Chain A
Amino acid sequence: MSGDRAEFEKFLGLSEVLTGFTKFRLQGTGQGALYFSTLTDVVGQGTAGELLQAWSGVAAAAGQDEGKLERLMRSEILSHEKLGPIARNLIKLWFVGTWYQLPAAWREVFGTPERDRSFVPAASSYVEGLLWPTIGANPTGAKGPGYGTWADPPNIPKV
């Protein structure tokens, strides 16, 4: 496995935990590679590497213990001054296809990467946002469900 491929696998592993969707489902959006490159393009390879390294540590330490995984996710990544906002941005990217500009407080401390502004990486990023299937709907303006379907009761998958 090449270095890049290994990093990408880590990225998918982290994304699984952040989103609650399987790698299979995440890859099914067709956005995995694009989001990985979005991450590295915006915050730089060094910072992206720090995040993925922290994730590797969390994953190794937690093993199959879900409670421990959640605790470590919070203590090592989500509450981490530098990595937390980036991890939260990855959640938003997967759910609505938008990279949101990092919080002002982050930018004051860690710099203002040139590409860190709010943007949608590709039209398909919006269309493949995972928020919509989560709520039993389709993205507004895409994947039209068909005439009259809205008259039926909603059928939202149990989580």
Chain B
Amino acid sequence: MSHLSSRISRTDHASASTQIYDAVIVGSGVAGSILANELGRQGFSVLVLEAGPGNDLSIAEYEASVERFYLSASKDNNSPYAVNRNAPMPRGQETVKLQPGRPNADGYIVQNGPLELDSTYTRVVGGTTRHWEGKALRLIPEDFEMRTRHGQGLDWPLKYETLKSYYAKAEAEIGVSADVEDQGYLGISFEPGYVYPMRKIPISYLDQVIGKNLDGAKVELDGETFSLVVRSTPQARNGVPHPGYDNGKGYVAPSAVSTHQDEMGQRCQGNNNCVPICPVQAKYDARRTLVKALETGRVHLLSQTVVSRVHIDSGNGRVTHIEYKAYKDLHGKEHSAGTVKARVFILAANAVENARLMLASGLPGSSGLVGRNLMDHAYLLTWALMPEIVGTMRGSQCTSGIEELRGGAFRRKQAAFRAGIHNDGWGWATGAPYTDLLALVDDQNKFGRALQRGLVDRISRQLLLDFMVEVLPDPANRITVDPDHRDQLGNMRPVLSYRLNDYTLDGVAFARQLSRRIYQRLGAEDHTTYSPQEPGWVDYQGGGFVIRGGNHWAGTHLMGSSPKNSVVDANQRSWDYPNLYLAGSGSMPSIGTANTTLTLAALCLISAGHIAKELRSAPTAAAAR
């Protein structure tokens, strides 16, 4: 039970502009919230600027989002969040088939192509963790050494071993449910005696049926034999706390934000709606961490505040201040401009927005790499009907996956992938179950009980496998800005150029082939089809696939070993501007086959320790507080 108002120290734009904070953080998503909480707890004064609306920290506001989802006819992954013309966000339906040479400027992100990308993010308090699904997989050790081990992509300036203890801290912060016994594959290791904060989320009946028929299936690839197994997926949603956690001290699952209702913030109830919103706050979102930060009394939050420019002192290369536009409401463009000052500035607005802001500030970096090497997972969706009713549309959206092909010697030649098993049917691929209803009523002329039987037959046997395929850093994949494309406040919108190379497409093709074998083994009817008319279509050896985005934007300010090969160092500190940090998945030099949130959370915990040390050692540290 939280009593937000009593503990939080509030501010307004006028007073914030008179203060010199220890740190100003742009963005209240998972990266910004973790940094704010860590720094606030260590005694530093922090101001968080959030472009999105409202406080979004009350139960009433949360329920308004749930209701907005109920009332939305589209139910896309930003449907719970109010349309905001002053901090617009991309929506999947804005991604349309491009005509060669003609960018699509109709959505928030201007798409240059050649490939369309339907990924999104959310500009609200808590950021995209509001609509994320909550998969919390660690990268595998070889993901950090792609160049050395596989001759592809880039090495990180740090290794899995360095990140290991931070992964554990991140798993505590975001509350991950998993069993260590299931997760030690492909070199993933844990600190001695480690257990996850909460037991694994029970795997679905669908997973069990698949496992019964699939476990032990052999796959040959590049001279290696892989034995498939259906494995439970680590998830950032509340399960049963592990009594052995932290050497037997146990784990208290985080509650919902600002609530006194018992059914809120408790264990996952199987609402099958992690994306776009968990109605009971069983899923982690960054507001949980943000509230802890605010409750330190040293962290201020200003929402409806869009940062428009980062200013550099050309003499010493330090950031002097940040300029913002604070708007009055979501529709009109009435706003007031202002500036804030701090000793350290942290951009934590996500990989697209961080790059956009740097470029809009005229700061492409001495390496010229800001905005480049944009990555996202290439998702190949395949879908089938199981031979028996498996109870589709129950449980969290995914409870298991197939992980064996996340690593191996084959990565010299083609991309790795994992497969997620979907409990929510074909929705992602086809718009099920709505499209099933429409087809039965409009095309198959069913009504009454025949319609009911048709629905059971079409939906309750649905199985969708999402193949999350690795994408390597490619400097041509990038975010830029263009003065001709601005939002209502005059901020330049992100312009996206995106393509996929053969390394990824060979992995995609292998995944498609594997899906056929899996369906053959399960006796499932394969209903997968791809059309060249769809956005995301890629030609491949006379055929082709439709590739969907994963909302895992990364790489646009990647970390490396020198100012020549990267934008930030292993602490996410800008090589060019010593009091500037670019935090989040934009810092990742590879994304392997893990959703980015857990890894970026671990990176931000590393950065927090480093920034705290810097702030303490700088001469003005004590005086400024």
* A-B pairs with lowest CB-CB distance, top 4: A144-B269, A154-B391, A150-B395, A141-B273
Q: Decide if B270 touches A132 in the complex (CB within 8 Å).
A: no
Which residue of A has the minimal Cβ distance to B436? A131
Q: Decide if A78 touches B447 in the complex (CB within 8 Å).
A: yes
Residues of the A chain whose Cβ atoms lie less than 8 Å from the Cβ of B399: 150
Residues of the A chain whose Cβ atoms lie less than 8 Å from the Cβ of B442: 88
Residues of the B chain whose Cβ atoms lie less than 8 Å from the Cβ of A147: 202, 239, 267-270
Q: Decide if B71 touches A137 in the complex (CB within 8 Å).
A: no
Residues of the A chain whose Cβ atoms lie less than 8 Å from the Cβ of B469: none
Asked if B89 CB lies within 8 Å of chain A CBs, one says no
When the two chains form the complex, which single residue of A70, A96, A122, A124 contacts B437, counting CB atoms closer than 8 Å?
A: A96
Q: Decide if A146 touches B71 in the complex (CB within 8 Å).
A: no
A58 to B269, CA, bound (A): 45
Which residue of B has the minimal Cβ distance to A103? B442
Q: Decide if B269 touches A142 in the complex (CB within 8 Å).
A: no
Asked if A67 CB lies within 8 Å of chain B CBs, one says no
Asked if A123 CB lies within 8 Å of chain B CBs, one says yes
A140 to B460, CA, bound (A): 14
A158 to B374, CA, bound (A): 50
Asked if B83 CB lies within 8 Å of chain A CBs, one says no
Asked if B433 CB lies within 8 Å of chain A CBs, one says yes
Given A18-B448, A150-B423, A159-B449, CB of A137 within 8 Å of CB of B392: yes
Interface residues of B in 434-490 (CB under 8 A from A): 434, 437-438, 441-442, 445, 447-453, 455-456, 459-460
Given A141-B273, A144-B269, CB of A18 within 8 Å of CB of B447: yes
Given A144-B280, A145-B270, A147-B269, CB of A17 within 8 Å of CB of B447: yes
Asked if B389 CB lies within 8 Å of chain A CBs, one says yes
| Additional 8 contacts, C-beta under 8 A, given A147-B239, A147-B268 | A17-B447, A19-B451, A95-B455, A135-B455, A137-B393, A148-B202, A150-B395, A154-B389
Q: Decide if B269 touches A145 in the complex (CB within 8 Å).
A: yes
Interface residues of B in 52-102 (CB under 8 A from A): 66-67, 69-73
Q: Decide if B438 touches A123 in the complex (CB within 8 Å).
A: no
Q: Decide if A127 touches B70 in the complex (CB within 8 Å).
A: yes
Residues of the A chain whose Cβ atoms lie less than 8 Å from the Cβ of B67: 123
- For the complex, count residues of A whose C-beta is within 8 A of B: 48
Given A123-B67, A131-B455, CB of A153 within 8 Å of CB of B205: yes
Residues of the B chain whose Cβ atoms lie less than 8 Å from the Cβ of A151: 202-205, 208, 395
Interface residues of A in 87-143 (CB under 8 A from B): 87-88, 91-92, 95-96, 98, 100, 118-120, 122-124, 126-127, 131-132, 134-138, 140-143
Residues of the A chain whose Cβ atoms lie less than 8 Å from the Cβ of B263: 144
Asked if B277 CB lies within 8 Å of chain A CBs, one says yes
Given A88-B442, A135-B456, A154-B389, CB of A140 within 8 Å of CB of B424: yes
Q: Mark B382-410, 1 if CB is under 8 A from A, else 0.
A: 00000001111111100100000000000
Residues of the B chain whose Cβ atoms lie less than 8 Å from the Cβ of A20: 447-452
A89 to B277, CA, bound (A): 27
Asked if B271 CB lies within 8 Å of chain A CBs, one says yes
Describe B's contact surface by its main secondary structure. Answer: loop
A4 to B321, CA, bound (A): 67
Asked if A156 CB lies within 8 Å of chain B CBs, one says yes
Asked if B497 CB lies within 8 Å of chain A CBs, one says no
Q: Decide if B455 touches A136 in the complex (CB within 8 Å).
A: no
Asked if A64 CB lies within 8 Å of chain B CBs, one says no
Asked if B555 CB lies within 8 Å of chain A CBs, one says no
Asked if A2 CB lies within 8 Å of chain B CBs, one says no
Asked if B279 CB lies within 8 Å of chain A CBs, one says yes
Residues of the A chain whose Cβ atoms lie less than 8 Å from the Cβ of B205: 150-154
Q: Decide if A98 touches B73 in the complex (CB within 8 Å).
A: yes
- For the complex, count residues of B whose C-beta is within 8 A of A: 53
A20 to B447, CA, bound (A): 7
Q: Which of A18, A20, A78 has the most CB of B within 10 A?
A: A20
Q: Mark B230-267, 1 if CB is under 8 A from A, else 0.
A: 00000000010000000000000000000000010001
Asked if B566 CB lies within 8 Å of chain A CBs, one says no
When the two chains form the complex, which single residue of B277, B393, B451 contacts A91, counting CB atoms closer than 8 Å?
A: B451
Residues of the A chain whose Cβ atoms lie less than 8 Å from the Cβ of B111: none
Residues of the A chain whose Cβ atoms lie less than 8 Å from the Cβ of B452: 20, 134, 159
A33 to B72, CA, bound (A): 21
Residues of the B chain whose Cβ atoms lie less than 8 Å from the Cβ of A154: 205, 389-391, 394, 460
When the two chains form the complex, which single residue of A17, A126, A142 contacts B448, counting CB atoms closer than 8 Å?
A: A17
A156 to B390, CA, bound (A): 10
When the two chains form the complex, which single residue of B202, B451, B459 contacts A150, counting CB atoms closer than 8 Å?
A: B202
When the two chains form the complex, which single residue of B273, B391, B447, B451 contacts A136, counting CB atoms closer than 8 Å?
A: B391
Given A149-B270, A149-B394, CB of A144 within 8 Å of CB of B279: yes
Q: Decide if A92 touches B441 in the complex (CB within 8 Å).
A: yes
Residues of the B chain whose Cβ atoms lie less than 8 Å from the Cβ of A92: 437-438, 441
Q: Decide if B393 touches A132 in the complex (CB within 8 Å).
A: yes
Q: Decide if A88 touches B433 in the complex (CB within 8 Å).
A: no
Chain B: minimal CB distance from A142 (Å): 6
Residues of the A chain whose Cβ atoms lie less than 8 Å from the Cβ of B459: 135
Q: Mark B416-434, 1 if CB is under 8 A from A, else 0.
A: 0000000110000000011
Given A17-B448, A91-B441, A150-B270, CB of A141 within 8 Å of CB of B393: no
Residues of the B chain whose Cβ atoms lie less than 8 Å from the Cβ of A12: none
Asked if B272 CB lies within 8 Å of chain A CBs, one says yes
A4 to B316, CA, bound (A): 79
When the two chains form the complex, which single residue of B73, B239, B277, B392 contacts A120, counting CB atoms closer than 8 Å?
A: B73
Asked if A73 CB lies within 8 Å of chain B CBs, one says yes
Which residue of A has the minimal Cβ distance to B460? A135
Which residue of A has the minimal Cβ distance to B68? A123
Q: Decide if A140 touches B70 in the complex (CB within 8 Å).
A: no
Which residue of A has the minimal Cβ distance to B66? A141
Q: Mark B339-354, 1 if CB is under 8 A from A, else 0.
A: 0000000000000000
Q: Decide if A134 touches B203 in the complex (CB within 8 Å).
A: no
Which residue of B has the minimal Cβ distance to A124? B70
Q: Decide if B434 touches A156 in the complex (CB within 8 Å).
A: no
Given A137-B391, A137-B394, A154-B394, CB of A119 within 8 Å of CB of B73: yes
